[in-house]
Amino acid sequence: MEKVLVTGGAGYIGSHACKALKAAGFIPVTFDNLVTGWRDAVKFGPFEQGDLLDRARLDEVFAKHQPIAVMHFAALSQVGESMAEPGLYWRNNVNGSLTLIEAAVAAGCKGFVFSSTCATYGDQDNVVLDENSAQYPINAYGASKRAIEDILRDFEAAYGLQHVIFRYFNVAGADPEGEVGEFHQPETHLIPLMLDAIAGKRAALTVFGDDYDTPDGTCIRDYVHVCDLVDAHILGLKWLQDGKGSRVFNLGTGSGFSVREVLDHSRAVTNQTVPHEIGARRPGDCTKLVSGSSRAEEELGWAPKRSTLDKMIADAWKWHQTGHYDG
Ligand SMILES: NC(=O)c1ccc[n+]([C@@H]2O[C@H](COP(=O)([O-])OP(=O)(O)OC[C@H]3O[C@@H](n4cnc5c(N)ncnc54)[C@H](O)[C@@H]3O)[C@@H](O)[C@H]2O)c1
Ligand SMILES: O=c1ccn([C@@H]2O[C@H](COP(=O)(O)OP(=O)(O)O[C@H]3O[C@H](CO)[C@H](O)[C@H](O)[C@H]3O)[C@@H](O)[C@H]2O)c(=O)[nH]1
């Protein structure tokens, strides 16, 4: 069986990707330093502990496993933290990815699937965000991801590195079978924080601003189910295996929901009120991020099956009640 190197495979999205890779007949080899990930989440293939910044360790892992491709999820990804400590983000995400990309090219591994983000587009009022939209990130996290996209393009030109860049919108939900799920410590994402508030694990959710220029004043996001998202990655891998060349794809549904609408759906799905209060805006937050592209559906044949808000909240709620990692 062919191996795929999954950086960040001990994290939320990477662990779901490992499950999908195994189901598709690949051996996922997780490379992770466990800075935000969990050893317990590595269930579907071998684990290699290591840091993206450690070139010698990466060379060792490429030589040992001879992966046919890399799926690169490993990153720091908190917008607020990136504004407070930009150096951390440029070093870990950009230097780390550059080290990984150089190691992959040196090992002759020329298929690369990269987790980018809609945060690279920034705050563009009334602009339909498709893959050709300009990228004006307004936080250091988004800027670090845009820089990695540029590195990939340069490495394609110089060394023929074939890559698929996925710009995710907001990823939510969990494996419906409950084997893996979202477990960030500390948690910063809206839906798991809402579920924590419902379960009494925190006093109340703070809504970050209700004075935005949106119909109800709260920020709008495009939520996509993590299992649909990783399905696209399997299709992206096949795309590269079929020699179709480097390509960028947005991964979102095209439907936007405000924070208040997510609160309403959470109440309906769990049948419980969501304790919340209105707070200040969070630095670095965009007003509205919604995908305006169907390229992934048209070209990759991607068909999101589980990305309704209710299904994402229901799967997250199931995991929230039964699943967690100890280490
Ligand atoms: N969750 C979202 O809504 C979302 C949206 C857009 C893009 N993304 C991107 O998807 C990817 C995965 O996100 P996630 O939510 O699963 O995050 P996560 O924090 O759960 O997973 C990231 C993993 O990378 C590992 N890691 C970080 N730095 C590393 C390093 N230097 N060396 C080795 N391992 C390292 C962490 O230990 C962790 O296991 C990230 O690149 C993120 O930027 C996430
Ligand atoms: O306690 C909270 C947490 C979030 N929000 C709001 O909920 C929305 C979603 O916030 P998340 O933190 O869940 O996710 P982000 O929109 O910040 O997502 C950003 O970070 C992600 C990675 O963490 C992805 O990279 C994504 O592309 C990028 O836009 C935002 O409007 C945010 O202001 C709150 O009101 N209160």
Please determine, for residue 126, whether its predicted confidence score (pLDDT) is greater than 80.
no
pLDDT class of 43 with cuts at 50, 70, 90? very high
Annotation marks residue 141 as catalytic:
yes
Considering the candidates 12, 89, 121, 141, report the single residue annotated as catalytic. Answer: 141
User: Is the domain of 198 the same as that of 126?
Assistant: no
- Counting from 1 in the atom list of ligand 2, the atom nearest the Cα of 167 is 27
Contacts for 180 with CB less than 8 Å, ≥ 6 apart: 15, 16, 19, 41, 43, 174, 323
Residue 23: what pLDDT? 98
Structural domain includes residue 111: yes
The answer as to whether 180 is a domain residue is: no
Q: Is 178 part of a structural domain of the chain? A: no
Q: Where is the domain boundary, 251, 268, 297?
A: 251
Do 283 and 295 reside in the same domain of the chain?
yes
242 and 302 part of one domain: no
For residue 304, give its domain range: 190-221+254-322
Is the beta carbon of 175 within 6 A of some atom in ligand 1?
Answer: no
Same domain, 134 and 217: no
Q: Are 27 and 168 contained in the same domain? A: yes
Mutate to test the pocket of ligand 1, among 6, 7, 13, 49 (most ligand atoms within 8 A of CB): 13
Q: Are residues 113 and 154 in the same domain?
A: yes
What is the pTM for the complete model shown? 0.97
The total number of structural domains in the chain stands at 2
Q: 94 in a domain, yes or no? A: yes
- Work out the percent of the chain whose per-residue pLDDT is above 90: 91
Ligand 2 contact, 259 CB (< 6 A): yes
Reported ipTM: the value is 0.96
Ligand number, closest to the Cα atom of 186? 1
pLDDT per residue as tens digits for the range 229-267 = 999 999 999 999 999 999 999 999 999 999 999 999 999
CATH value at residue 283:
3.90.25.10
* Same domain as 214, residue 81: no
Which pLDDT value is given to residue 3? 98
Residues 117 and 139 grouped into a single domain:
yes
Give yes or no: residues 15 and 164 share one domain.
yes
Which tokens in the block code for residue 131? Answer: 């893959």
First and final CA of the chain: distance in angstroms?
29
Residue 42 belongs to a domain: yes
SS3 247: strand
Q: Does 268 reside within a domain?
A: yes
Beta-strand ranges (E) seen in the chain are 3-7, 27-32, 47-49, 69-72, 111-117, 162-168, 170-172, 205-208, 220-221, 223-225, 247-251, 257-258, 276-279, 288-289
Shared domain check, 94 and 31? yes
CATH code, domain with 138:
3.40.50.720
Does residue 181 belong to any structural domain of this protein?
no
Final residue belonging to a domain, choices 232, 251, 270 = 251
pLDDT of residue 264: 96
Let me know whether 29 and 128 are in one domain: yes
For residues 108 and 202, membership in a common domain is answered with no
- Domain-embedded: residue 182: no
- Per-residue confidence at 127, pLDDT binned at 50, 70, 90? confident
Q: Write the DSSP string, 158-192.
A: HH--EEEEEEE-EEE---TTSSS----SS---HHH
Q: Which of 251, 270, 296 is the last residue of a domain?
A: 251
